[in-house]
């Protein structure tokens, strides 16, 4: 088949060639002379350059210093494409102050900017996008900017490869951000796809996400993100890495997908935490390689995250999730951990599903579950005095072998169901001290393709002390091929940690019918936990119940409350809101920064004789977004009388920073039980008001109050 010269001309045009056309005598076609393309026109970059239209920069290295807080080049218009032909901007390195970072290339709050092929080094940030939308970075190189490999433990220091601050939407691809402090920073950024980049040898993190949401971070190389006096392998395992990590997910970051990345040789591979804000939730960490961490391959302190299909070989701990509730650990491969393969201890461990993992060759324990602490340099005969709430856990269809001390080691844990796990022999399971309400079922391999049943627990509503409460799991559904459903229950006082270092008595524990009746004799918050099984696999469901005290209720409506605040500009509002424990709740919102108190009744004329009572009861939620959280031990509860006050101060701070769950406070009128009583002229025989005092490092916080009772 022949191709005419006209067709060749069209092909050449599409290829970008310059053309000449000459008619040939006696030939009915045209002959085209193809002229090779010339050099692409480009603009020489200049210091302080402002770009407001499509621009191509000439290649070469350009020494442009930038003052703190300024940029060598600014893009200041929407829709701009900045193309570099091997252009490298180089700062002097003297303006890397993380308080006011200098920037190589900066984009403001403009839409649709694309940067291709550019590079910058020697700045606080190689690149920064501040409020940009629909941003594209392709084949860019922002390596060798601010870094500090010798830094000790530090807070949130800014600087490194690229900063996406307040940015919305875009793609970061096929680029390099190596040898920085943080390779990639997402601060209040969302809807980015960050894929196929090289971000190795950063001294703090390969990537850090703070209040970042709905981003995909996939297929990147974040290896060797580490800081400290280490060398692999001789001075490696268990040595302080200053919280460096391949990726840190922080401060409320949610619904991010961390997929198929290389996090090997990081201080931690993946670290999900809440040092600078509230816990991140709803993140998927899947398919990553977090091997060879001298600390934890994957560490997660926070709730509602999924850790699935990752690899952690030869890390100090393979996966650590102490402090996380509603965590799923599924389908991971964890081999040759220097301590434990999966270690869940110190913090609470609630509503946890651990399934389909391979855990082998751990030098101590394959899977450790405990509310106590077992530090890496302590043998398993040691446990700490404090105890966190470790309960409501399903461990199923895992392969466990060649773990030195035990395949599974459990202490201080309630309601553990183990189903269809594979271990060379049953002696691999060690249930040591304080293990209650457990169930084992299924043989290795019997449930390979089986689907777990679905547990459903109806909302029981508030409970009244001393009266029957119905718990209904009849909506649970079996899966095909399993036996009829069995139900295992646990009802116990709610809490992250248990006072006095002892597990509290539980109200209900063990097997029972689908519909169960229970009576709660003491006021408080109670967790109602259920595991449903079909003799092969199991499913989880849970509710929380408030058992309200019988006595004199105080401050049930917003209009009942008053406040004191030493700030002249203090603004405080009280409102009735739905969602209380047995009706409306009172919401207190204040901009108070210190020494705030709210009291009821506002008229201070209660006139209550509480001398025959024993307890002040209070259900409370709090939201404090200030960095210093609470400035002291709160809440301080005060009973006021005409002659003075009686104050009760907790031994430790008991106020949360996150308002997601109620807390119950029980204050003995006589003092004790973790509360110090101070008398200053008050009288239990003539209580005129009840007051709540608190103090925070910064202004503004919220309280929700319900069930304030003296009984």
pLDDT digits (tens, 9 = 90+) for 88-100: 999 987 666 778 9
The model's pLDDT over 203-231, given as tens digits with 9 standing for 90+, comes to 999 999 999 999 999 999 999 999 999 99
- For the segment 604-630, the average pLDDT, to the nearest whole number, is 91
Strand duo 585-590 + 572-577: pairing: antiparallel
Cα separation, 701 vs 699, whole angstroms? 7
Residue 572 has pLDDT above 90, yes or no: yes
Tell me how far apart the alpha carbons of residues 526 and 407 are, in angstroms, rounded to a whole number.
Answer: 32
pLDDT tens string 145-155: 999 999 999 99
Q: Is the pLDDT of residue 631 over 70?
A: yes
Sign of the Cα pseudo-torsion (579, 581, 583, 586, in order): negative
What pLDDT score does 346 carry?
Answer: 93
Residue 532, CA distances (Å) to 420, 462, 512 in order: 15, 23, 11
Q: Dihedral of CA 691/693/698/701: which sign? A: negative
pLDDT for position 26: 38
- 13, pLDDT greater than 60: no
Say yes or no to pLDDT of 25 above 60: no
Res. 9: pLDDT tops 70: no
Q: What whole-number distance in Å separates Cα of residue 557 and Cα of residue 705? A: 10
Q: Is the pLDDT of residue 193 over 60?
A: yes
Q: Which of 378, 395, 344 is nearest to 533 (CA)?
A: 395
Return the pLDDT at 37: 61
Residue 303 has pLDDT above 60, yes or no: yes
Three-point CA angle 309, 310, 311, nearest 5°: 130
Mean pLDDT over 681-695 rounds to 97
CATH code at 463-548: 2.60.40
Question: What's the confidence (pLDDT) of residue 377?
Answer: 74
CA distance 126 to 162: 6
- b/e code 488-525 from CB counts within 10 Å (16+ = b): bbbbbbbbeebeeeebbebbbbeebebebebebeebbb
Mean pLDDT, residues 101-127: 97
Task: Report pLDDT for 500.
Answer: 80
What tokens does 366 get? 């394959």
pLDDT at 443: 84
CATH code for residues 552-710: 2.60.120.260
Specify the 3-state DSSP secondary structure of 11: helix
The whole-chain average pLDDT of the chain stands at 91
The SS3 call for residue 669 is coil
**pLDDT at 535 (0 to 100):** 94
pLDDT at 92: 87
Residue 688, pLDDT score? 98
The mean pLDDT of 386-406, rounded to a whole number, is 95
In percent, the amount of the chain with pLDDT more than 70 equals 93
The dihedrals phi and psi of 8, each to the nearest 5 degrees, come to -60, -35
Q: How far apart are CA 625 and CA 696, in angstroms?
A: 10
pLDDT in tens, 653-664: 888 777 778 999
Q: Torsion angle of alpha carbons 576, 577, 580, 585, nearest 10°?
A: -30
- The model's pTM: 0.89
Q: For residue 384, what pLDDT is reported? A: 83
pLDDT, tens digit (0-9, with 9 covering 90-100), for 326-360: 999 999 999 999 999 999 999 999 999 999 999 99
DSSP 452: P
Do the two domains 463-548 and 552-710 of this chain adopt the same fold? Answer: no
Domain boundaries, the chain: 5-35, 183-311, 463-548, 552-710
pLDDT at residue 437, as a whole number = 96
């Amino acid at each position: 088949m022949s191709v005419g010269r006209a067709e060749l001309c069209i092909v050449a045009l599409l290829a970008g060639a310059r053309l000449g056309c000459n008619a040939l005598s006696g030939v009915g076609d045209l002959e085209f002379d193809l002229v090779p393309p010339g050099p692409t026109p480009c603009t020489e970059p200049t210091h302080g350059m402002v770009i407001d239209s499509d621009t191509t920069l000439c290649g070469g290295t350009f020494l442009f210093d930038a003052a703190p807080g300024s940029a060598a080049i600014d893009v200041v218009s929407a829709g701009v494409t900045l193309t570099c032909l091997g252009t490298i901007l180089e700062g002097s390195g003297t303006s890397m102050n993380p308080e006011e970072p200098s920037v190589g290339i900066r984009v403001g709050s403009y839409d649709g900017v694309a940067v291709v092929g550019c590079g910058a080094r020697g700045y606080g940030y190689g690149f920064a996008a501040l409020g940009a939308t629909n941003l594209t970075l392709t084949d860019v190189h922002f390596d060798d900017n601010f870094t500090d490999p010798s830094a000790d433990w530090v807070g949130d220091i800014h600087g490194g490869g690229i900063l996406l601050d307040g940015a919305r939407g875009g793609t970061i691809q096929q680029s390099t951000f190596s040898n920085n402090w943080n390779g990639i920073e997402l601060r209040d950024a969302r809807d980015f796809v960050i894929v196929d980049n090289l971000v190795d040898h950063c001294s703090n993190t390969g990537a850090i996400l703070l209040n970042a949401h709905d981003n995909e971070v996939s297929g990147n190389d974040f290896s060797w993100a580490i800081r400290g006096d280490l060398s692999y392998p001789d001075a490696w395992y268990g040595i302080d890495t200053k919280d460096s990590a391949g990726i840190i997910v922080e401060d409320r970051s949610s619904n991010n997908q961390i997929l198929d990345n290389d996090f090997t040789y990081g201080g931690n591979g993946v670290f999900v935490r809440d040092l600078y804000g509230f816990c991140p939730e709803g993140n998927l960490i899947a398919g990553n390689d977090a091997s060879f961490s001298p600390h934890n391959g994957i560490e997660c302190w926070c709730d509602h995250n999924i850790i699935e299909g990752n690899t952690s070989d030869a890390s100090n701990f393979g996966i650590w999730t102490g402090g996380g509730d509603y965590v799923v650990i599924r389908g991971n491969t964890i081999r040759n951990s220097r301590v434990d393969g999966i270690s869940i201890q110190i913090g609470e461990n609630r509503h946890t599903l651990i399934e389909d993992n391979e855990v082998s060759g751990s030098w101590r324990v394959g899977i450790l579950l405990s509310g106590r602490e077992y530090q890496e340099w302590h043998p398993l005969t040691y446990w700490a005095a404090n105890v966190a709430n470790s309960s409501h856990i399903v461990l199923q269809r895992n392969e466990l072998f060649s773990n030195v001390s035990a395949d599974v080691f459990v202490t201080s844990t309630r309601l553990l169901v183990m189903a269809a796990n594979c271990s060379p022999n049953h002696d691999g399971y060690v249930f040591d001290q304080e293990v209650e309400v457990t169930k084992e079922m299924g043989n290795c391999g019997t449930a390979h393709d089986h689907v777990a049943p679905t547990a459903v627990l109806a909302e029981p509503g508030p409970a009244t002390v001393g009266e029957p409460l119905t718990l209904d799991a009849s909506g649970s559904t079996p899966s095909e091929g399993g036996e009829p459903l069995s139900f295992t229950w646990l009802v116990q006082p709610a809490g992250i940690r248990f006072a006095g270092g002892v597990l509290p008595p539980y109200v209900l524990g063990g097997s029972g019918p689908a519909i169960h009746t229970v009576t709660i004799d003491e006021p408080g918050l109670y967790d109602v936990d259920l595991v449903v099984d079909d003799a092969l696999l199991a499913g989880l469901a849970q509710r929380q119940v408030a058992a309200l005290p019988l006595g004199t209720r105080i401050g049930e409506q917003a209009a009942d409350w008053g406040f004191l605040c030493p700030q002249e500009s203090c603004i405080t509002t009280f409102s009735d809101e739905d969602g209380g424990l047995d009706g409306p709740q009172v919401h207190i919102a204040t901009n108070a920064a210190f020494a705030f108190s709210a009291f009821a009744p506002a008229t201070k004329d209660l006139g209550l004789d509480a001398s025959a009572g024993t307890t002040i009861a209070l259900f409370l939620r709090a939201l404090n977004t200030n960095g210093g959280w609470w400035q002291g031990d709160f809440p301080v509860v005060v009973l006021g009388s005409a002659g003075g006050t009686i104050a009760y101060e907790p031994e430790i701070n008991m106020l949360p920073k996150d308002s997601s769950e109620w807390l119950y406070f029980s204050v003995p009128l006589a003092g004790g039980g973790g509360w110090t009583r101070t008398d200053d002229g008050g009288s239990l025989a003539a209580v005129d008001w009840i007051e709540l005092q608190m103090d925070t490092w910064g202004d503004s916080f919220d309280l929700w109050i319900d069930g304030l009772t003296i009984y």
